[in-house]
Amino acid sequence: MDKILEKKWYALYTKPRWEKKIDARLLKKGIDSWCPLQKVERQWSDRKKVIEDPLFKSYVFVRIDASERNSVLMTDGVLNFVYYLGKPAVIKDEEVNSIKMYLAEKDARISVISEEGFAAGEKVRVNFGVFMDKEGTVLRGGKKKVYVQLQSLGQVMVVEFPAESLSPTLL
């Protein structure tokens, strides 16, 4: 197979809340597209409902070769490819397959932390360091540093953590 026409996974940046529409439009065009969805329970004023919500907000993945790029970009709602070092970022097959396999598991839940970081009051788990596996409550959030209240030995400690060392706890 010609190296230029080799199919690879790319991430697309989409209009907000257009992920499912774009996925459907790309599939209709015959383009290998994937919008990872997970089941989420939503509360309305009169009822609760389980919906399929995009895992990555404003992103859809496509498996294309170089000849299909313009067709993808001409799809209504697609803003651009996600770029890395001046080129469309290639996503490894193993990464896409890992996410697909995990989402296929019963009750699979993935939390994606965006650049906004953690919000005050959010319950988190420490993933690295001396406080690994401890849970706490975010007092003050941010993109880089997060202040977390940890209950330990009946005392309250407030510890500053880098945001990448924390993950939200599942309810």
User: What is the per-residue pLDDT for 41?
Assistant: 80
CB atoms near residue 91 (< 10 Å): 17
User: What is the per-residue pLDDT for 107?
Assistant: 64
Q: Which residues lie closer than 8 Å to 102 by C-beta, 6 or more apart?
A: 108, 110
Low-confidence stretches of the chain (pLDDT beneath 50)? 115, 153-154
What is the set of domains in the chain, with CATH numbers?
A: 3-104 (3.30.70.940), 123-168 (2.30.30.30)
What are the tokens at 153? 């030995």
Q: Hey, is 39 helix, strand or coil? A: strand
pTM above 0.75, yes or no: no
User: What is the per-residue pLDDT for 144?
Assistant: 65
User: What is the per-residue pLDDT for 40?
Assistant: 80
25-46 per-position pLDDT tens digit: 999 999 999 999 888 888 888 9
The span from the CA of 21 to the CA of 9, in Å, is: 19
Strand extents, DSSP E, the chain: 8-14, 32-34, 37-43, 48-54, 59-64, 78-81, 83-84, 87-88, 90-91, 123-126, 135-140, 145-152, 155-162, 166-168
**What value, to the nearest 5°, has the Cα angle with vertex 117 and ends 111 and 120?**
100
Q: Return the DSSP state at 30.
A: T
Nearest one of 123, 121, 131, 119 to 160, comparing CA atoms? 131
Q: Which residue has the tokens 């360091």?
A: 129
User: What is the per-residue pLDDT for 105?
Assistant: 72
**Inter-residue contact 135 to 149 (CB < 8 Å):** no
Nearest one of 50, 52, 74, 53 to 62, comparing CA atoms? 74
User: What is the per-residue pLDDT for 117?
Assistant: 65
